[in-house]
Structure 1
Amino acid sequence: MQQFTMNNGLTIPSIGYGVFQMSGNEVREHLPEAIQAGYRHIDTANAYFNEVAVGEAVKASGINREELFITTKLFPQSYPYEQCGIDVDASLERLGMDYVDLMLFHQPYGDYVSGWKSMEEAVKAGKVKSIGLSNFPMHKIQEILDIADIKPAVLQVEINPYWNQHELKSQLEGTGIVFEGWYPLGHGDRKLLEEPTFTELADKYGKTNMQIILRWHLQEDNVTFPKTLNAQHMRDNLDIFDFELDTDEMNAIDNLPQNPYYQVPEEPPVFVLTHNDYSQQV
């Protein structure tokens, strides 16, 4: 598994298994399959309501904790300084872990500026190894950079060949922030998956169109979480380390028309403001 180095000197696996929109029972069924296939990077969140199941599956796997990279995220209700420390501990308790490798602020709303100081304290206390942001636009990232003693190590945003985030990457050049891409395969968009460019390259390299896209991500230095409940697809998504796209092929993908699948609004949608009791997990 290829690793990327974050700006704090720690490494992060280039491919992970995400459990977004999976029930606790689905996590208990499919996360062990992913671990068996070779995944060592697991991405969850308090708002996914499956941290308990993730912790149980990790414990049952028999894999040493130090061999795994576990990410979770806090939703905006957790951001105010005092609440943030409480909710960091609550996530650790649900996961049944002494620490997580990465904790992100999940959405760019609320009191994320004061909360960042609490996240830094969690790092200093050894509860969190690295901290970062998810779905934050540049001007809100800058608010964090302006007050941070510990810079964000990771930024998780939509990235795929139809939305390559080159502009945002250029704006953050020099920060050492590692990019993670959600919707790495366009959320199953057949138009993206069947682009002639990918079909031609798949024929050339003896791979699938999806593997070509994931290889593009890898060479773009994007961490990805290609979602699947299919054990064979899990294995296929890891089978991208035995070939390399050349410069012209990467440029051809980079030149595809750009348009995001989802535009993160400036103001919080209603669901972000809804109070949730994240302890109610099964």
Structure 2
Amino acid sequence: MTIPALPVAGSDLAMPLLGFGTWQLRGEQAYKAVRAALDAGYRHIDTATMYGNEAEVGRALADSGVLRDQVFITTKLPPERAGKERATISESVRLLGVDAVDLWLIHWPPSRGRSVAVWRSFVALRDEGLTRAIGVSNFDISDIDSLVSETGEAPAVNQIRFGPALWDAGLVSAHRDRGVIVEGYSPFKTTDLHDPVLTRIAAAHDVDPARVVLRWHVQHEIVVIPKSASPARVSSNFDIGGFALTDEEMAAVDGLAKRR
């Protein structure tokens, strides 16, 4: 199954709308989960320095037989590493076993107003080729505007906590007006998968509610990165190509946000 992708501003990259998250996966469990994801067809893997699993992600990629240029790799700088950008990305690249990552994010806004200085370093290291694109995570629109006003460089991506219960059309539009891709994490933790709206739609398509949530993200063109250590669940989550939500079903899932 081919997952649709979005063009990444300022690069020749395409970012798959469905990726595999690795938060809380460590050691051999992380290795096996990423191998399962690559075997299932995922071509977008998300990790971070603070996850402590970049070496396992890199080993899984190397052992998978999947060509490097076929996989979109994201990692992230912890906010406490502000001022140590070069050392951090160099170590990430080494652990991942790659020449460069596809996307590097500031994981959280650094303290004491250091975001702009970190962002300037991100721009420089992108221009040197250690990462192909740069972005942020857990930033507000005002934070993004500050980066743009100070540097003239907009983040390609903002990775934020997202799911149907957090649907906010205005927030999504604000990102898109600035050319920023919205990427959502914790799609299931933010969602009641037993909600009657989701179970009804799932039954209509003969799928589970989790896949309805993932399909909803993809049809909204919001990148989503589900995580699981179960090979069966990893494979199931990737299997969203055989159905599509109707306009009425999309609206019904959107409406879950109004019931919070």
When the two structures are superposed, what TM-score results if normalisation uses the length of structure 1? 0.85
Tell me, in whole angstroms, the C-alpha distance in 2 between the residues paired with 1:197 and 1:180: 23
Runs (4+) of structure 1 moved beyond 3 Å? 257-260
| SS of alignment partner, residue 173 of structure 1 | helix
- Report the alpha carbon displacement of residue 195 of structure 1 after superposing the two structures with TM: 1.0
The answer (yes or no) to whether the contact 1:120–1:149 under 8 Å persists in 2 is no
Instruction: Describe the SS at the equivalent of 2:116.
Output: helix
CA offset at residue 201 of structure 1?
1.0
Alpha-carbon shift at residue 167 of structure 1 (Å) = 2.9
Q: Report SS of the residue matched to 1:193.
A: coil
**How big is the shift at 1:227?**
1.2
**Are residue 91 (structure 1) and residue 92 (structure 2) matched?**
yes
SS in 1 for 2:213: helix
Alignment partners' CA distance in 2, 1:17 and 1:60:
17
Q: Which amino acid aligns with 2:162?
A: I
Is 1:207 the counterpart of 2:207 in the alignment? yes
Q: Which residue of 2 aligns with 1:177?
A: 180
SS in 2 for 1:87: helix
Deviation of 1:173 (Å): 3.3
Distance 1:194 1:148 in 2: 45
Q: Is the contact made by 2:175 and 2:182 (CA closer than 8 Å) also made in structure 1?
A: no
- Per the alignment, residue 103 of structure 2 pairs with 102
Letter in 1 for 2:87: I
Distance of 2:87 and 2:244 partners within structure 1: 45
CA-CA distance at 1:258 after TM superposition = 4.7
SS in 2 for 1:133: strand
In the other structure, the counterpart of 2:230 is 230
* Change in 2 beyond 3 A, CA 1:106/1:259: farther
Q: In the alignment, is the contact (CA less than 8 A) between 2:80 and 2:110 conserved in 1?
A: no
Query: Which residue number corresponds to residue 14 of structure 2?
Result: 11
> For the residues of structure 2 that align with 1:74 and 1:184, how far apart are their CA atoms?
22
**Mapped contact 1:6–1:176 kept (Cα < 8 A):** no
The residue number in structure 1 matching 2:252 is 252
Task: Choose from 44, 47, 70 the match for 1:67.
Answer: 70
Alpha-carbon spacing, 1:66–1:222, altered in 2? closer, same or farther (3 Å): same
- Extract unaligned runs of 5+ from structure 1: 261-282
Give the whole-Å Cα distance in 2 for the aligned partners of 1:68 and 1:211.
Answer: 22
Task: Work out whether residues 159 and 165 of structure 1, in 8 Å CA contact, stay in contact via their aligned partners in 2.
Answer: no
Judge conservation of contact 2:46–2:74 (CA < 8 Å) in 1. yes
- C-alpha separation in 2, matches of 1:102 and 1:259: 35
- Is 1:118–2:124 an aligned residue pair? no
Match of 1:103, SS state, is: strand
Q: Which amino acid aligns with 1:210?
A: A
Question: What's the secondary structure of 1:185's corresponding residue?
Answer: coil
| Offset of residue 28 of structure 1 | 1.8
Taking only the aligned residue pairs, the percentage that are identical comes to 33
> For the residues of structure 1 that align with 2:148 and 2:248, how far apart are their CA atoms?
35
Residues 1:259 and 1:248: Cα distance change in structure 2 (over 3 Å): closer
Q: Which runs of 5+ in 2 are unaligned?
A: none
Aligned to 1:52, which of 45, 50, 55? 55
Give me the whole-angstrom Cα distance separating, in 2, the residues matched to 1:211 and 1:167: 25
How far 1:3 moved relative to its partner? 0.8
Deviation, structure 1 residue 170 = 2.6
How far has the Cα of 1:259 moved from its partner? 8.2
The secondary structure found in structure 2 opposite 1:36 is: helix
Kindly tell me: are residues 125 and 166 of structure 1, through their superposed partners in 2, closer, same or farther at Cα, counting changes over 3 Å?
same
1:106/1:135 contact within 8 Å kept: yes
- Provide the C-alpha distance between the structure 1 equivalents of 2:154 and 2:199, rounded to a whole number of angstroms: 40
